Amino acid sequence: MPIIVNLDVVLAKRKMSVGELAEKVGITISNISILKNGKAKAIRFSTLEAICDVLECQPGDILAFEKNDQ
């Protein structure tokens, strides 16, 4: 998938656990884990906004596009 999720990197920089982020954002640990592991098919802007607010980051800090040249 050309969308790379760097949530684990941002969490590590903030010294925050998945559980703590999930609690502060108001979604389940399972949903944060799905996103963190790159298994999510979509993300609501409201969820992305809440994650960025809690982590004090920009969407581009969490998500990146990597073109697949085949």
Three-state SS sequence of 27-42:
CCHHHHHHHHCCCCCC
3-55: CATH number = 1.10.260.40
Determine the pLDDT at residue 67: 85
Determine the pLDDT at residue 64: 95
Determine the pLDDT at residue 40: 92
45: amino acid identity, one letter: F
Determine the pLDDT at residue 2: 86
Domain ranges (residues) in the chain: 3-55
Consecutive 10-residue averages of pLDDT for the chain (70 residues): 90 96 96 93 95 97 86
59: its two tokens? 């969407």
